A and B are shown apart, each in its own frame.
Chain A
Amino acid sequence: MDYLIIGFQDVLNPTTLFWVTVGVTLGYVLGALPGLGKATGVAVAIPLTFYLEPAAALGMLIGIAKGSGAGSAVSAILLNTPGEPSSAPTALDGYPLARQGKAQKALKMGLYASVIGDLLSTLVLIGLAAPLARYALLIGPVELCAILLFSLTFIGGLSGNSMIKGMIAAAFGVFFATVGLETETFVTRLTFGVLELDDGLSLVPLAIGMLAVAEMIIQAGNIAALDHESSQIVDGAEREDRIVTGAEWRRCIPVILRGTLIGSIVGILPGLGASVGSFLSYGATKKASKTPEKYGTGMIEGVAAAESADNAVVPSSLVPLFALGIPGSVIAAILIAAFILHGLTPGPLMFQQQPRLVADVYASMICASFIMLAIGYFGQSLFALIIKVPLRHIIPAVLLLCSVGAYMETSSVFSIYVMLAFTVIGFFARKLDFSFVTFLIGFVIGPKLELTFRQSLQLLDHRADNLIHHPIAVVFIVLTVVTVLWLGRSGGGGITQASAEALPQAVGPASGQTNEKQ
């Protein structure tokens, strides 16, 4: 604690604060641009920090990571184009809100949820880094496999109106994730001799195609109506549509806290990543809601759930890095190199050898949270002007951004072909009412489930009775079975829901009952 005060004294000077602000701003802009993410930002910025003091350099790099988490919500809400894959669930309700003329409300909630999630998760990192990290190592492939199985089952049950359609979409997601090198024999699967497919389909062009481009094409299909709508938006924006009201705060605070908790846990567990966190939080919020059928039509809670979890993942993924020197995420793996360059070797000894530098890093992380609030607040009033532009002018610009975003990651035109292919799939998924959310979740979790399952088979020496050495895994397997039974019983309810779609009044009570059982 004493060190933290010294840390603040070190950080609260114009130079360090300036560089942290530069980092957050850079991250915010990179995050808002589709395809450019925190990993690219930090990697490119590492050489630039050679000439800075360690505290300023590390503060700037962490600022980039934090800022991009918040920035990615901006394009998700305004353009339905997640700046980073982990903001994909933000777009599900944020974009409808924006189309209803509530862009500023959605942006503000996204920012507040981001900052709260980020700040609380930073406090989790500071307070619990050492004690929590000991447990992180207990989560090996066997435990992870059980946790993923549980997550996939849980999310699979949330898939829109028809459970069967949801499962079909998820299965397609898993199917597309099998493309590429198989991990045990290194045989290529479903690549048809195309070299670019050896490493599998990349999430970024796939998500951009399914979410943004497909949406733009559908929008272009009824452009006359939308032009009319957006001219109304310009005129009709009420003050309540631009701010987050007290009632909304009351509804969203529990959602944000749950999102932060989910994001923090996902961050600490190795190998899950921000996308899993935000999708899980969105799914859990939808499940817990009394009106799950309204999600996807502009529920402010959806934005709060996704963004709080998305941003909570970044600081908490540094927990295993700081306490054990193990990167819990891609961004943590990149930060290792930067930390070592600036004389801080992540690991348990770091706290004994360099307590002051650790405190500096903690202090600059807290400062970055508040700087993020300020940057976001001023930034979004600029960004929000976009929504007032008629859609017919936005669509070409978004298509350009999408193509650039898909291209950036690999510097390859092939990614644009991938984007276009999944635009077609996304278009028909929308038209035929298949959930592209469950598709994406299947795509993200599927390969991890396969890998950990294969790892588990080897680690358990191919014997099921060796599971008794993995009590955490057993707990999650039991939970999975319980969830399946519970979903199976309320599965009838799901079908009723689908057939009752024509009668929206009937849906409310039915799903309300389902939630009471939970």
Chain B
Amino acid sequence: MTQLVVGPFNRVEGDLEVRLDVQDGAVEAAYANSPLFRGFEKMLAGADPRDALTITPRICGICSISQSVAAALALADAAKVEMPQQAKLAAAVLHGVENLADHITHFYLFFMPDFARPAYEGHDWYDEVVTRFTATRGTSQKAALDARARLFHITGVLGGKWPHTLAIQPAGVTRAPTAAERVRMLSTLKGFRRFLEAHLFGAPLEDFLALESRADLATWRTGDAGLFLRAAQELGLDGLGVGPRRYLSYGAYPMASGRTTRAGLWVDGQMGAFDPTSIVEHVSRSWMTGAAAHPFEGYTDPDEDMSETGYSWCKAPRLDGLTAEVGALARGIVDGHPLALSVAADGGVAARIAGRLLEIARTQIWLEEWVTALDPAQRFMGEFEVPKDGRGAGLVEAARGSLGHWLTIEDGRIANYQIIAPTTWNFSPRDENDAPGPLEAALVGAPVAACDKTPLSVQHIVRSFDPCMVCTVH
């Protein structure tokens, strides 16, 4: 057996190290290490609860609005208030724009450049991939960057800036849009649709959304998506990096009529309800002190000696004692979308990318509907006061999956704050039962060539999860 240490693992958000035990040309065991500890939960202890709205978005520069919405919902839950219906729409627009942009950043900047590596020379798609996706130079990369920057003009209007807006509050949003701003945002969205249809899909979004099965998807040949699908089929990426096949979603985008996508847990073809009280974070293999606990009871106290039993600053969240995979694919599956359910049968690298492509198309259409539904004549802010004592949870869906904030207020100050981020789920270390996290399990069996120090198969699998390491440990 040989051991490989892959790091710095770049083109993921934040710092990641993956240790691999390799036997007979394949990964036998994998260990994911989140090597950065900052301690946001400790920073928040004793703070004015409202300060969570300023501090927690700064956990992450790529999922900043997700953190912001989770904090706002946790405070709202503790104070027993709710945003007015139009504020929910505006918050969903801000959040949807970030999630959409994150998927684009992932596909164009983080994931696709690996297919432009010399190792793939000779494949009939290779030259085209090199032109479009070579890191820092690809023509599609640059087009995506331009389109992404323009899409963020919506956060300029409604949120002041991105990342790190303070516009989303427990009882509403700080900025009531005007009628002129509403039509301007619609025009910005039209521009983004033009990019998606010209570059990513090479066809109307509705055509992609009409795909209902992996067989349908296999016929898609246009746009950058088609180029990926060609490469994926040739390289067998559907069977690579299969996860635990337990898919969790908290349900995305709370609206007056409920969440836009369903919440739940999908296991082996069965949809079940998801019970937030059955979440437990294990710390046995983390550089953390304490015992396994639900986030309302848990705390964060790093083991300064970094004892031998631990190998990551990340805790290991488990649902009913088991791992769960979160992300765009999980959301699509739990929401019952036929294409997502169909690719769930594979559950590997290609399925995760398909789940994201599907969600890009759906999110663009949701955003168009939401901005259209904004009514500048309505109220965008209600009343909110910090309760003297209370507790609340804020559960949202970030681009990378389920994000939760659990807050306890005592005597008007934060007594405890716990966060479980999407990549805490996906890239968790082993738990008390020595069960590996979803990524660690997905890496087992990945092929490794004899002289390979940074196996491409491992890179595809890791990046297919779109990890956000700064959120993971926070």
A and B physically associate: no
Binding site for B on A (CB under 8 A): none
